[in-house]
Structure 1
Amino acid sequence: MTKDECFYLGKIVSKYSFKGELLIKLDTDEPETYLTTESILVELNQKLIPFFIEESSLHKSSLLRVRIEDIANEEDADELVGLSVFLPIKELPELAEDQFYYHEIIGFTAFDKNSGKIGSISGVNDSTPQALFEIKHPSGKEILIPVNDSFIEKIDKLNQEFYFQTPEGLIEMYLD
C-alpha cells in the first residue's frame, strides 16, 4: 500500500509504559472514531509497515494509547517514537454532504459567486497556519483561497463542483 492510498492519522509521540505501549497524537476532531482500529501503518524508512493493535484506549482525550502486537518492551517501542501513522483512505468515516476531506476535492471545478468559473482545485496546502485551497486558473496562474467556512457557499460532490463566495478583490488579486 502506498501513501497515496492512505491518510495521515497522527504521530507516535511517546512511550506510555515499560510494557511497550505507545501514545499516538491523532490528527482528528473525533479521536474516539479510531478506538476500534485493528491495525495501523507506520512510516519507517519511507515505507508503510503494518502493525496490529492488541488494545487501545483514549488518553487525555486526543491521544490514542495502544499496545501493539510484538512490541513488548521499551526498547522496541523506542524505535517507533516520532514516526508518522497512516490508515487506508477507505477507513475514513463517512461525512455529511456539506463536508469533505481534502483529498476528495482535488480536480473539482471551482466557482466564485462574483467571478464565475475560476479554475480547478489542484490541492489544499495545510502546512501553513491557515490552510489554503490551491486553484489552478485556466491562465496557468494559481489562486489561493483560505479554507474558511464563510467562504464556502456549496459543494456539489456529484458534479465535482465547489462554490466559493470570497471577499471582493481576492480572486482579482491573483489575476491582475
Structure 2
Amino acid sequence: MYLPKSLKKKSNKLETNDLIGFSVFADSEKLGTITSINNHALNPLLVVAYEDRELLIPISDYFIKKIDPKLKKVKVELPEGFMEI
C-alpha cells in the first residue's frame, strides 16, 4: 500500500533517505554532498558527489561516526586508501 509522506506519522527517527542533501566530512574536510542512497546492495551505500566522480560509502557504524540533522552534516571515518578505490 502506498502512503503519501504527508500522511505518514511524524517520527524523530532519521530515515536513510533523509540524508540526501547532507554534506559529508572526513575530519574537517568536506568530501561532498549525498546525492542518493543505494539500497540495492546487501549493505546500503551513501552516494556522495565527490570532485568529478561518485564516492560510495557503506551505511555502517564503522564508517559513519556522527550525523547532525540540524546542520545536515555526516561525519565519516574512512580507512587509508579508501578515496583511491
TM-score category by the smaller chain? Answer: 0.7 to 0.9
Distance in 1, matches of 2:47 and 2:11, equals 24
Shift of 1:93: 4.6
- Report the number of matched residues: 84
Q: Which runs of 5+ in 2 are unaligned?
A: none
Note the 1:18-167 alignment, pairs <5 A.
Answer: 85-90=1-6, 91-96=8-13, 100-113=14-27, 116-137=29-50, 139-167=51-79
Runs ≥4 residues deviating over 2 A: none
Q: What is the CA RMSD across the aligned residues, in angstroms? A: 1.8
Q: Which has the higher helix share?
A: 1
Q: Provide the TM-score with structure 1 as the length reference.
A: 0.43
% of aligned pairs identical? 31
Higher RCO (CA < 8 A, seq sep 6+): 2
Structure having the higher Rg? 1
In structure 1, stretches of 5+ residues that fail to align are 1-84
Tell me the residue number matched to 2:81.
169
Query: For each residue in 1:91-122, what CA deviation from the matched residue of structure 2 results, as whole angstroms up to 9, or x when unmatched?
Result: 155134xxx21221111111113x72110000
